């Protein structure tokens, strides 16, 4: 089953999860048996480290920007590695559709590019940085269709 892992450094890795025990594989990729599920798109689930914030795991800006773009609003911070899978109408885990794979990869690339640019051109404020990333992520998602 095709899925993605988005790491805090905004790298995206294609995963092939087993269909019979996907949850165990997801736990292994996230590094925890405590996994929260975020539904920010009707056809996708973000599997998030359940204690990532409390453990001080690094923020995952790429996953945050993707989830925020899918939701159409800024969300709470996400931390640690995140696995993105598809979702059936009944809420079961499924293979991630190709268009959503493209959303994730485009947003992650944009986050990497933007962070690199900010090393030489600092944003005016945290609010400006958030707004800039969200605008880019929304553009990436819209240009590839919902």
How many angstroms separate the Cα of 113 from the Cα of each of 50, 86, 131? 28, 26, 15
Q: Which residues contact 21 (CB under 8 A, 6 or more apart)?
A: none
* Tens digits of residue pLDDT in 52-109: 888 999 999 999 999 999 999 999 999 999 999 999 989 889 999 999 999 999 999 9
Q: Where are the domains of the chain?
A: 2-143
* The pair of three-digit structure tokens given for residue 4, joined into one six-digit string: 């993605």
Confidence of residue 145 (pLDDT cuts 50, 70, 90): low
Confidence of residue 146 (pLDDT cuts 50, 70, 90): low
CA dihedral 67, 73, 75, 79 (to 10 degrees): 30
Q: Which residues contact 66 (CB under 8 A, 6 or more apart)?
A: 6, 40, 84, 103, 104, 107, 108, 137, 141
């Amino acid at each position: 089953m095709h899925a993605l892992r988005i790491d805090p450094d905004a790298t995206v890795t294609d995963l092939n999860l087993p269909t019979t025990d996907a949850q165990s594989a997801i736990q292994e990729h996230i590094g925890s048996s405590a996994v929260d599920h975020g539904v920010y798109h009707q056809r996708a689930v973000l599997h998030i480290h359940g204690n990532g914030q409390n453990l001080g795991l690094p923020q995952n800006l790429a996953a945050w920007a993707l989830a925020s773009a899918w939701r159409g609003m800024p969300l709470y911070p996400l931390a640690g590695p995140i696995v993105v899978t598809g979702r059936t109408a009944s809420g079961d885990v499924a293979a991630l559709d190709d268009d959503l794979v493209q959303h994730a990869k485009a947003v992650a690339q944009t986050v990497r590019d933007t962070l690199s640019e900010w090393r030489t051109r600092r944003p005016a404020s945290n609010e400006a940085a958030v707004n800039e990333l969200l605008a880019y992520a929304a553009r990436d998602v819209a240009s590839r269709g919902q």
